[in-house]
Chain A
């Protein structure tokens, strides 16, 4: 499958390195594993790829109780049992009680698609291993019916991880890996301009300087990320804050810092000066 090269979308700025890695992963047909600080746009990357390449997106948000098979299909036994009792539906066809998961849908779809497996490290430690075969072969069997679902088009698979757990080596070997580093000042400016095209230059640069200084406070438990910066600037913008004010004050601090201790730390430091 040939796609036009990916190069970010109007509302998602991808660094040249990231764009290139996306193209390599698509070209090799390998899953792309992205890791990085929270709020650096790991999940949005999949949406952006789908949009840029004109593909459907099948998202699978992994939870601590997720099982690998749920991404392929689930078999609704209770519904079938219930239907057989009241005889209001034909229960002889098991197929009508099989529901595809995100991967299953993508395999069965006539159109090429993007599959997002979000926060894979939240699930059980064996979870990634259970998906190895399906991601390799791009096919799976439904035990209840004996049907085999093979991918019509090899989907682009994007996997995100917060590094809460170590992923198994066998799984890592098959992936293309990219670590999304925290954007530098130039890139942050660009991101802010995408979100607020009409923002005054003064406010933007004053806010950025304060934000970057805040990220450098060593005692912070959770450093503010890009998405929090966007929220903050949006609040500043709407509140009509004078850029000169930012030199001495941090209005709407709650949009940047989400932990009580962090707010304490920053206010104490501000007073200490």
Chain B
């Protein structure tokens, strides 16, 4: 019965180790658990579970093992795994591609057509090929198939629908994608620039010995100020849209950097697909901050880490007025803003949550020419940190 409990906990993702299990048995053996289910519950929880976030899962497994409650649906984890590991959208058949290519228009024309159509449209349309709606092949709308259209509002592209049908063939990739916060923190900790600051309160032993010798053996104490980390970190994160499946990855990087309390300053801002004239302080992109303001105020030695899939329609990157959000009036193209960021800061890298095998979108290749790009994994971050630490002249 107890061994079932152990296996049940492990099966549902509570990483109980053998050592912890033996401690639990020791508590049983020493009579620290009186003959009551309550005792078993509390002591088991204290010894086996080390984070309150896992309490709920523990409760479910406990009820299942020692009560008659049904086992918690393990499928939740499966679904999360799928979402962590999105697959490429289905390839279009030649006929479909041809049909869509016929619709391909250049951006300006598309913009005008959008405005016209919006003016004509009186009601909601879904699944069609003309009006602004969802799930269709019209160039305007959300959640549909069109290689060069305008997405209105958030809601993911053609990725999500396929995920549900995905078999577990990607499960095996999981182990190289596991991002534990601690691993990230250890990688980030290498980012330091030590400088002596503040009151001289630390004994400088070498200098004391030297001064004492010069003094003919009379002790001369020499003090120095303690060293502090002067490194500043700026995290720019792509939020929304195609980044939704990677939200958990990005948020673990964010909490790692946020919880570290290691930097002299840590700033984080959000953008959608590409940074334009405005960046945002919140993930909902409500609280805006002008990019030129950032460029003006930022210290040139700040370590810049951009997180994004860099996968978008090329026009979003290269064209003025190209932003995916219709309301985002960008007079200056995204690539130009990226160039300015790159030129302003000495140390910059791009972390991409997509697997390296998919790094082939034209926009991604353009971004990659500007920023050294690394996969968003623990080892990718380690490489990125190495790159950040190298001093290279401002371009």
Residues of A within 8 A of B (CB): 17, 20-21, 23-25, 27-28, 30, 33, 35, 64, 77-78, 81-82, 85, 125, 164-166, 168-169, 172-179
C-alpha gap A33/B49 in the complex (Å): 11
Q: CB distance A82 to B219 under 8 Å?
A: yes
C-alpha gap A92/B28 in the complex (Å): 52
16 pairs of residues in contact across A and B, judged by CB atoms under 8 Å? A21-B42, A24-B27, A24-B43, A27-B30, A28-B23, A30-B23, A33-B50, A35-B52, A125-B189, A164-B259, A166-B181, A173-B17, A173-B50, A177-B46, A177-B51, A179-B52
The A-contacting residues of B in range 97-151, CB under 8 angstroms, are none
Contacts of B55 in A (CB 8 A): 179
Q: Mark B51-93, 1 if CB is under 8 A from A, else 0.
A: 1100100000000000000000000000000000000000000
Contacts of A64 in B (CB 8 A): 261
Q: CB distance B221 to A20 under 8 Å?
A: no
Contacts of B166 in A (CB 8 A): none
The A-contacting residues of B in range 153-198, CB under 8 angstroms, are 180-182, 185-186, 189
Contacts of B95 in A (CB 8 A): none
Q: Is B20 an interface residue (CB 8 A)?
A: yes
Q: Mark B35-51, 1 if CB is under 8 A from A, else 0.
A: 00001001100110111
Question: Given A165-B259, A166-B259, does the pair A177, B42 have CB atoms closer than 8 Å?
Answer: no
Residues of B within 8 A of A (CB): 15, 17, 19-20, 23, 26-27, 30, 32-33, 39, 42-43, 46-47, 49-52, 55, 180-182, 185-186, 189, 203, 218-219, 221, 259-261
User: How close is A1's CB to chain B, nearest CB, in angstroms?
Assistant: 13
C-alpha gap A35/B49 in the complex (Å): 13
User: How close is A168's CB to chain B, nearest CB, in angstroms?
Assistant: 7
Q: CB distance A173 to B42 under 8 Å?
A: no
Q: CB distance B259 to A20 under 8 Å?
A: no
Contacts of B32 in A (CB 8 A): 23-24, 27-28
C-alpha gap A25/B46 in the complex (Å): 9
C-alpha gap A78/B209 in the complex (Å): 12
Q: CB distance A125 to B47 under 8 Å?
A: no
Chain A: CB-nearest residue to B52: A179
Question: Given A20-B43, A28-B27, does the pair A85, B218 have CB atoms closer than 8 Å?
Answer: yes
Contact among B27, B49, B186, B203 for A78, CB-based, below 8 A: B203
Chain A: CB-nearest residue to B31: A27
Contacts of A164 in B (CB 8 A): 259, 261
Q: CB distance A178 to B46 under 8 Å?
A: yes
Contact among A20, A21, A28, A177 for B50, CB-based, below 8 A: A177
C-alpha gap A17/B218 in the complex (Å): 62
C-alpha gap A27/B30 in the complex (Å): 8
Contacts of B189 in A (CB 8 A): 125
Q: CB distance A175 to B259 under 8 Å?
A: no
Q: CB distance B20 to A165 under 8 Å?
A: no
C-alpha gap A251/B33 in the complex (Å): 47
Task: Give the 6 A-B residue pairs with the shortest CB-CB distance, closest first.
Answer: A179-B52, A172-B50, A21-B46, A27-B32, A85-B219, A17-B42
Q: CB distance B182 to A166 under 8 Å?
A: yes
C-alpha gap A143/B50 in the complex (Å): 34
Contact among B43, B260, B261 for A21, CB-based, below 8 A: B43
Q: CB distance A175 to B27 under 8 Å?
A: no
C-alpha gap A97/B46 in the complex (Å): 41
Contacts of B47 in A (CB 8 A): 24, 28, 176-177
